[in-house]
Amino acid sequence: MPYNLAAPDRDIEELVVRRAEVFRQKQGINLLTGHCASRIDPAGRTVSGTTPEGKEYELPYDRLLIATGGTPIIPDLPGFDLPGIVTLKTLADGRYLKTLLKTGKVKKAVLVGMGYINLEMCEALVRLGIEVDMVKPGPVFLPWLEPSMAQSIREEIETRGVGIHAGHAIERIEKTAGGLQVICRDLQLNADLIVVGIGIRPNSTMAVDAGLELSVGRSIATDRHARTSDANIYAAGDCADAYHVVSGQKTWIPLALRANRAGWAVADNICGKNAELEGIAGTAVFKVFDFEVARTGLTASEAAEVGFEPVENMIKARSKAHGHPGSSPIQVNLVGDKKSGRLLGAQMTGKDGVAHRINGPAVALYCGMTVKQYSQTDLAYSPPIGPTWDPTLTAANQLLKKL
């Protein structure tokens, strides 16, 4: 949605992947839009709720999939229910924002939170000529990223005129004669629009009421077949947990590929096929202005928390061969385990060649490779694409010295 919002001429409806009538007419699926599901009865194997007209309904099931997604977190503070304060999760959110931005009345925006979505929104709003400030209570910008790499991203954003206000806890939001004001103890920020992007929580209330077990972050606990604690009920998407391929422990990282893959696995299992999910590495990438930022696996602190003895090392390399036009710096931070030599995680930033390079370490994590094994992989070389020694290989060689 941020990329759509940045383009005033694009219709927000372009983002609809599949319309309801396709399910009904082409695939013969009894899709009931506008129906609220409010209760699951595992003993009777029924789902009940209300129709668009407010009438009660009840549907029987042999197998059930809960794919209720997540809900944006809204701080429980005064003023967060005022008009002009939005989240960006549903298409309705996108429609509202698109309409609001087209009026030309939004001159200043405050983004509460500095995660993926708000960093993408920051770029979108700046490209529309809107003044932007970002604020969050935590003192560290992008705390999961190696500090010097995070500083590069912060400087990139600040050069675009964006105010980064980390370490400022919001006390309340007030309506003023000119719009809205975000009030912190030692900071006040004026805005015509406030976008809240501090994360989501899994929609697991119905699962709790049905007596299903919960997991990390109150996500629904599932096994490697995406089955819940009830053998007839599955869960997939942002409401469900997963196994982490590096730690082997349960985790909750709501990302799109896992949601899609888990949905396919549930369909296979319901239809009698044996589909198991290996797990996730938390591989993610986002773009903010000219920078690409990517990660996979565990950070050093995350690795220590689950019992590894992490060692990390950050290197600076180039995106293309030496002297080739268009080459730009790339920073790569690798994390390895001192006891086993195993590769545990990777982070990468740069203006060219980052997004797809992260896939190499991601595959290595799935294969349980050591840093030494990864350093010996045969990665492609061509001057316009990268140096003879891919930056991730250089990073692996340097981390080996520390290990």
Q: Which among 295, 301, 317 is positioned nearest to 365, based on CA atoms?
A: 295
Domain co-membership, 194 together with 294? no
Q: Which among 244, 353, 339, 338 is positioned nearest to 290, based on CA atoms?
A: 353
Percent of the chain with pLDDT over 90: 97
Domain co-membership, 192 together with 288? no
Choose one of 168, 199, 230: the last residue of a domain: 199
Choose one of 199, 221, 243: the last residue of a domain: 199
Count the domains in the chain: 2
Confidence of residue 178 (pLDDT cuts 50, 70, 90): confident
Domain co-membership, 189 together with 298? no
Q: Are 296 and 283 in contact (CB under 8 A)?
A: yes
The answer for 123, left when phi > 0, alpha when psi is -120 to 50, beta otherwise, is: alpha
Residue 182 lies in a domain: yes
Choose one of 199, 232, 258: the last residue of a domain: 199
What pTM does this model have? 0.94
Residue 66 lies in a domain: no
Mean pLDDT of 279-301: 96
Domain co-membership, 195 together with 79? yes
Residue 26 lies in a domain: no
Question: What is each CA distance from 17 to 13, 14, 71, 366, in whole angstroms?
Answer: 9, 8, 20, 30
Confidence of residue 365 (pLDDT cuts 50, 70, 90): very high
Domain residue limits at 99: 72-199
Domain co-membership, 82 together with 187? yes
Mean pLDDT computed over every residue of the chain: 96
Domain co-membership, 288 together with 195? no
Residue 240 lies in a domain: no
H-only helix segments in 159-271? 205-209, 256-270
Q: Are 49 and 56 in contact (CB under 8 A)?
A: yes
CATH for 100: 3.50.50.60
pLDDT of residue 220: 98
Residue 305 lies in a domain: yes
Summarize pLDDT for 20-44 with one digit per residue, the tens: 999 999 999 999 999 999 999 999 9
Residue 67 lies in a domain: no
Q: Which among 195, 201, 267 is positioned nearest to 236, based on CA atoms?
A: 267
Mean pLDDT of 294-319: 97
Residue 213 lies in a domain: no
